[in-house]
Amino acid sequence: MASCLKYISARMRNSEVLPRLILELTSVCQVKCVWCLMQTFNKIRKRHMPFERFVRFIEINGDYLRRNNTAVTPFSRGEPLIYPHFWQCCSIMRENGLALDSIATNLSMKISVDDFLANPFNYIVVNLGGVTREVHEGVMINSNFKLVTKNLRELWAAGIPVRVKINPCRANIHQLPLLPDFVERLGGRREYAERYQTLFPHPDDM
């Protein structure tokens, strides 16, 4: 760990200014999306970052991040909101004067709107499998469509500008034009529906 932190810190001191920094807090996800390459990873490669390692990283690099106005993206491949210390990490970043950049989430878990209000991100996007339960849960296996839509309603009712997108595949491409209406019915703005084309389509859909 020590050598890894020293390497990253040296690169940050010697390289050009970073507009944002991605920290992978977890590579674990409770949902299996048909388009996701994470399904090919074995379980040994899926894990949470030790919380102490995150704290140490901020201690070492906080000055650089503040000095260069580098925003932090606290996720990469996994589902950030199931990381046990996610909101604590966000609080530490805010206390250190660091901007929270963006997260992508499947939103299929119990949430507290207050956590989102207390930790404003520049950008939040929710991945959907479709605009109906049958299609959504068929594309995003283990996701709870009812829970996702409930969470979206609550976030939009609180004025949080959450974006949504559908990663297109054979099973859901017919629902792409329906996304703006779906968002509006749940209380969001039509412009929160993003147009998106996945870079990594499921092999069966190629």
Average pLDDT on 120-140 reads: 95
- Tell me the mean pLDDT in the region 157-178: 94
Arithmetic mean of pLDDT over the chain = 86
pLDDT of residue 19: 81
Contact indicator for 107, 143 with CB cutoff of 8 Å: no
The band of 16, judged by pLDDT with boundaries at 50, 70 and 90, is low
Note the pLDDT tens digit of each residue in 101-110. 899 999 999 9
Ranges of H-type helices in the chain: 2-14, 51-67, 86-95, 113-118, 133-139, 145-157, 179-185
Q: How far apart are CA 199 and CA 206, in angstroms?
A: 11
Looking up tokens 């609550």, which residue turns up?
Answer: 154
What is the per-residue pLDDT across 36-78, written as a single tens digit (0 to 9) for each? 877 666 655 678 899 999 999 999 999 988 888 888 888 777 8
Q: What pLDDT is recorded for position 204?
A: 43
Structure tokens at 30: 């409770």
pLDDT greater than 90 at residue 188: yes
Could you give the CA distance from residue 114 to residue 6 in angstroms, rounded to a whole number?
36
- Using the structure block, give the residue that is written with the tokens 């000095």: 67
* pLDDT score for 73: 86
Percent of the chain exceeding pLDDT 70 equals: 83
* Nearest of 145, 199, 190 to residue 168 by alpha carbon: 199
How far is 24 from 89, CA to CA, in rounded Å? 12
E-strand stretches of the chain: 20-22, 32-33, 71-73, 102-105, 123-128, 140-141, 163-166, 193-194
Mean pLDDT, rounded, for 147-176: 96
Q: What is the predicted pLDDT for the residue at 201?
A: 45
Positive or negative, the Cα torsion across 20, 92, 161, 138? Answer: positive
